[in-house]
Amino acid sequence: TAVIDRDRVAGCLLGLALGDALGAPYEGGPIERLLWRMIGRTSHGEMRWTDDTQMTLDVTESLIAQGQIDQDDLARRFAASYRWSRGYGAGAARLLRRIRRGQPWRSANRAIFANGSYGNGAAMRSAVVGFYAAHQPTEFTARVHQVAEITHAHPLALEGSLVVALAASRVALGASNEAILAALREQVQLAPFRARLEIAQQWLERGAVPSAPEIRSALGNRVTAAESCITALYLALAYRERPFLDMQQQAIAVGGDVDTIGAIAGSLWGAARGAAALPETSLARLEACSQIRAAADQLHKLLAAQYDSK
Ligand code: R7I
Ligand code: MG
Ligand code: MG
Ligand code: MG
């Protein structure tokens, strides 16, 4: 193995932000869409991204500042970054406000959902954790779960975060789709994920991409981890050698939680192909593009230093 390329780290973060920003106008019902038409652009006319990108930046910046996973620092950053206008999940919004008021994350996250949230809000920020833990095979799952459990302690949410982190780490190191699926089959335990993984594998072996309604009904398009993570994984692997915007168009057609499915698929596509392969005209209209690039470069430096010291 080697250290993950700088361009692939940037591709992952920028692909995520682009999938998020391009998908956000299509998320939710008529009221949410109308709202996003009003607040979905910056004062410079750029496309705004949502909680998916914000939390990924929070994780990235925490790793850079601490040089390791520090759960209390992560919780503080998640809470400090919370804005209603970023479209957080309803439970996540309540949880982050509790943490901001000073409640410890370990108790706050059980006060909202007794077993922890099974939303996809941990999976959507897990690709960068996969990069961080890429060369720690025995601790990989524990590391990924540490970042996820702060807000998403439910086993289904933890499993979704593992799917995304593992796929991101493998695809960024150039693994084939077959090798990525084999790694996932080995690590992924829970039935709702295993069943969908099997369908995705059959579709990838067959080659042709099914219609959006077929993808939606077989793999899911909702805000739960179990009904979105394999959908995003499938799109990223199916469109790996095709244009980013073709994948994004299919994510929009699948519908439902488009920003998050687009974000996860975008992060995996970007990790596979690198930032240079992302559509330039879209990147030029993306909120805080240079801040994201800078964070990616610093994360890459951390990964390189970590790799050299091994
Ligand atoms: O998972 P989370 O951060 O939401 C992420 C989604 C993404 O689409 C983002 O783009 C953003 O739009 O929201 O937020 P949570 O509130 O933790 O979970 C999402 C939703 O899943 C919750 O609001 C609930 O509707 C549902 N949910 C649960 N319902 C019942 N019991 C999650 N966990 C439970 C549960 O235990
Ligand atoms: Mg979002
Ligand atoms: Mg939402
Ligand atoms: Mg979403």
Tell me: the pLDDT tens digits for 212-241?
999 999 999 999 999 999 999 999 999 999
| pLDDT above 90: residue 307 | no
pLDDT score, position 310 = 78
Nearest Cα residue to atom 33 of ligand 1: 117
pLDDT score, position 57 = 99
Centre of ligand 1 to C-alpha 50, Å, is 14
Quote the mean pLDDT of the chain: 97
Mean pLDDT of 171-191: 98
Query: How many residues belong to the chain?
Result: 310
pLDDT per position as a tens digit, 36-69: 999 999 999 999 999 999 999 999 999 999 999 9
Measured in whole angstroms, how far is the alpha carbon of residue 209 from the centre of its chain? 22
Centre of ligand 4 to C-alpha 27, Å, is 7
Fold of 6-308: ADP-ribosylglycohydrolase fold (1.10.4080)
pLDDT score, position 309 = 85
| Ligand 1 interacting residues, C-beta cut-off 6 A | 50-52, 87-92, 113, 115, 117-121, 154, 223-224, 257, 259-260
| pLDDT above 90: residue 308 | no
Nearest Cα residue to atom 2 of ligand 1: 121
Closest-approaching ligand to the CA atom of 90: 1
| pLDDT above 80: residue 1 | no
What are the start-end ranges of the H helices in the chain?
Answer: 6-23, 30-39, 51-66, 71-81, 90-100, 105-112, 127-132, 140-149, 155-172, 177-187, 191-206, 212-219, 229-238, 244-254, 258-273, 280-283, 289-308
Centre of ligand 2 to C-alpha 86, Å, is 7
pLDDT score, position 302 = 97
Sign of the C-alpha dihedral computed for residues 159, 164, 168 and 174 taken in this order? positive
Centre of ligand 3 to C-alpha 94, Å, is 13
Mean pLDDT of 251-257: 98
pLDDT score, position 119 = 98
Centre of ligand 3 to C-alpha 174, Å, is 32
The alpha carbons of the chain give a radius of gyration, in whole angstroms, of 17
Give the confidence band of 190 by pLDDT, cuts at 50, 70, 90: very high
pLDDT score, position 92 = 98
Give the confidence band of 298 by pLDDT, cuts at 50, 70, 90: very high
Give the confidence band of 28 by pLDDT, cuts at 50, 70, 90: confident
* Residue 197 to residue 181: CA distance in whole angstroms: 8
Lookup: tokens for 257: 């939680």
Q: Among the atoms of ligand 1, which is closest to the Cα of residue 224?
A: 21
Q: Among the atoms of ligand 1, which is closest to the Cα of residue 117?
A: 33
pLDDT per position as a tens digit, 264-297: 999 999 999 999 999 999 999 999 999 999 999 9
